[in-house]
Structure 1
Amino acid sequence: MPRLPTVLLLSLLTWTATAGALTLTDEERGWLADHQELRLGVDASWPPFEYRDEDGRYQGLAADYVRLMQDRLGVRIKLIEPVNWSAVLEQARNNQLDLLPGIMSTPERQGFLSFTRPYLDFPIVILAHEGGPQPRSLKDLYGLKVAVVENYAPHELLRTHHPDLNLVAMPNVSATLQALATDKVDAVVGDLASSVWSLRQLKLEGLYISGETPYRYQLAMGVPKDDKMLVGILDKVLADISPAETEAIQQRWVGNVIDHRTLWTDVLLYGLPAVLLLSIVLAVVIRINRRLSSEISRRVALEQELRSSEYHYRGLVESLSAIAWEASISDFTYSYVSPHAEELLGYPRAHWLIPGFWRNIIHPADLTRTESYCYAETRANRDHSVDYRVITADGRCLWVRDIVSLIEHGHEPVLRGLMIDISEAKRTEEALQLSEQKFASVFQQCPDILVIARLSDGCLMEVNKAFEDQIGLSAEAVVGKTATELNIWGIQGVGPGLLQRVQTTSIRNLEMPFLRSNGQAFTGLISAEPFQLDTTEALVVVVRDITQLKETQQR
């Protein structure tokens, strides 16, 4: 019996010693034996995650994890270093790389990559410049120029979930911070670690972290989508790394950025005396600052009111069934279009921002006329409106009306306008014109006398060619006069009575004598019917000459 506790203790010690060891299956060992060299995609301009130091060595947080992985798996690493991160992603998409050491899983990347569990986690923050806007959250970024590193995770997240932000893509973190320091942009969105590292290295003055986004930079290792075996192996390696090793790597590269408790220690040790000193100084100048505080409060209230007005305006614009847009005055390149643009014409909103897009969607038959008119009106600094046809993404033809205004924006003139779909109105207008043409054709070619007169006083408004031929008076001579004034009735004084009769009922085939302009009499069948002509009550009169028929009957 005494031997049993000893055996259990030895077994426990053996299990404890091997529990943390890297255990691979036979299939995984076979995969590693067939893949002794892994092509590693490197972004050498992303400190402190990965970069080249002064001696050209591959360094950084991700680089240290790669070395641990290399030691545990016994494989060789071949560094592949394209010109920028976009090129790295393109090679990964084309299966030219076996491993990306530090990459965040996004919906766009999940189409061509598989990912391990995240092994680094940092907040994605907003950086601002003293004296400029102070965005504290994503909603404060609307209306500002926001710098991001091209195709980094913050760029993909904002481009997908906040497409209306004015994003300025730049090649690396240093470029974004330098653009912010020189007021070329209003804010920068990036991960906390690389932003703090670059701020320390560049020693830029006046930049600070003004806010935080709801997103976090959770870095994992990425492999081609079909290499599920390698993902499992890497997950085992990451699980095998001890907390002490993880702490040593993170402490080496980011120091106290992750541990917020040491931040409060620094505040108590160094910040408290500074606050006390500052309080003494503020007590001396308190009276002067009261006036300044009042002015600042007034300006803050005004800024909030303007921001609220901007959000209200944006909501109104984006809820319109028309396309609201802004474009350059020099070449008509769009800088903004509202969401309805994609719904109306079918082209993605990103295509609208390509130079020359406007010319490409105009119907070829309308291009020269529309372009020359718009250029002439713009050069004359006049607001204008123009109708033309556009070709949709699916090949349909629509009529639109562009209502254009010239405004000053940032001391530079720009074009702003509304593009309205008037296809239905155009079809109605064309149908109306066709109907009027048909009516005019029938009216003029009818062999009987046709007259349109005003119902109230009987003044003639329009006559056809048969009237001119048979009565002998031109249309210009009779319009505006009554039949009595023109001495057309064959019976004296019959005109007012007939007008009064037709004002209450219609007349059908009433046989009456008429006079031509030369005094010759003829017999006609007259019919009259009241109708509404636009806003005027009118009547249409038809007279058929039956003189020959009467003579035939008499014979």
Structure 2
Amino acid sequence: MRKSIYIAILFVLLQTSLTFAQNSIDSASGRPINSEETLNVTASLLELTNEEIAYLAQKKTIKVCVDPGWMPFEAVSNNKHVGMSADYLDLVAQKLGVNFQLVPTESWPESLENVKSRKCDILPLAMATPGRKTYLNFTTPYIVIPLVIATTKEKPFIADLPDVLHHRMGLVKGYAFTEFLRMEYPEMDITEFDTIYDGLTALEKNEIYGFIDNLTTISYEITHYFSSSIKISGRINRNWELGIAVRNDDPVLLHILDKAVKSIGSNPVQEIHSKWIAVTYEHQFDYSIFWKVVAAVGVVGFLFLSRYRKVNRFNKTLQDLNMRLKESEESFRSLVDNAHEGIVVVQNKRLVFVNPRACEMTGYDHDALLNMETFLPLIAPEARETMMANHLKRLAGKEAPVRYESQFLKRDGTVYPIELTGVLIRWKNNPATLNILSDISERKASEDAVRFMALHDNLTRLPNRYLLMERLEQSLAQARRSRQPMAVLFMDLDGFKQVNDTYGHDVGDKLLKGVAQRVQKLMRDSDTLARMGGDEFVILLPQVDHLSGVETLISRIDKALQLPFQFDSLEVKSRASVGFSLFPENGETAEELLRVADQNMYVVKQKGRSKSA
């Protein structure tokens, strides 16, 4: 009966490797990548129509135009398409068996003109607008990013776009939101630039007040070219939804690409985002085992597909494969025993089969696992109910998630995240579940690192503007229910520019970190100290009893900053001007409280620290 488990396991593994095996055969035999066999497999996997299959067989090359300077999303480097969209197109090319050919351009407007005049077939990353819909169709978006406003570092916090409509703002020529913002705010003073770099250069020279684009690209440009002069000062309550734009005289290509985009799984997406969004995180992966698995699957796929070269349906492929698997049990036993994932079979709530990797993941030996009364001791207590419910639903033939995340409990008490893929099988003529277990600790740590970087200031490690606004909104909701007063303090360092100009930005950065550490020690656990950018900080006090409590904290901050900062042999003095606002006296929204606190801070700065406002 162990042959059944090997057959079922290979079925699961070959679902992800069949396309790879087919492409390997095509490449080795010298046939075109979109051969009849590949198209039939593609048709089964993506549910392509006969018309779409015929289209792929005839279509040799799909011409692509991109934004030549929009990293990390896409760019042209040495006449080669690079960036996130290039990696997505590689995935699509593997699924469809087509070639994408870059048509180089000098700017995004030129790329738009090329696709409009049909010199290009697609734009890999574009957002639908009324103007573009006259000559383009769009797939389902596969990247969604927020819009932000960048300014020079001395500018104050921007609560929302209407606050700066009277200022000149910069955007990239031809971008979707340039068109949308002109329609929504006709009175807005907009200056258009060929590239983001050109716009940020003009911003640095104070030729415009602010520059609007997406968070990822602006952060990339600031980090690489403008870290000392430009900051992100606000977020627009809009998202940039990007999909593949296809010339509207080719609806068949649109439908094919939309199916391909929807078929891309979460793991490739995570790998692409981790590769191009700067997060310092080292992964260790046992490539020796990986390549053994790939080689074994590739050999099996090659032997099978070389004999059955006329594949008409994917189901027929699996039936023929099962016949050959019965003759190759030892090969599949090696595949399972050397798999990087844990593989277990559960029947009547007991483990009836485990591979060596499952033993390694749990900390139990083979016999100890098979002697357990139930599999539940391997699951963290908070996840057991959900795990058991999914197992019973699958046995009963009811709808249950095929792949989901859970928490594993090792023998030594360690809890760590796993991803489980489960299917219903027959084991000794009775129903059971085959479960593939993947340790996703590294992926989760990477996601946590990404989230921390998104919500915290890189220099001081304090919460940034976005996390502050989230906590401020939560505190306001609680204060409105309880009518409990709360306070917001806006703090700006005095003479910080002079420190930078006199001693350099390295000393300025050390001073910012030193100030953050001293003030943080004065905070309660419920309070939040956030850096807004430059030398501006905001303190959120979700609970205050009296005005005197706020004034006492301001006095303690002033006292803490009276002592000079010592950086090696250099002694630096710094003080701060602090303004505050109270809920509900000075406002009942986050924007009102921040604006009043900011205004009061400038009053304090003009009067001198001995005054308060």
* Higher RCO (C-alpha 8 Å, min separation 6): 2
Give the alignment's TM-score, normalised by structure 1.
0.48
Give the alignment's TM-score, normalised by structure 2.
0.44
Compare CA radii of gyration and give the structure with the larger one.
1
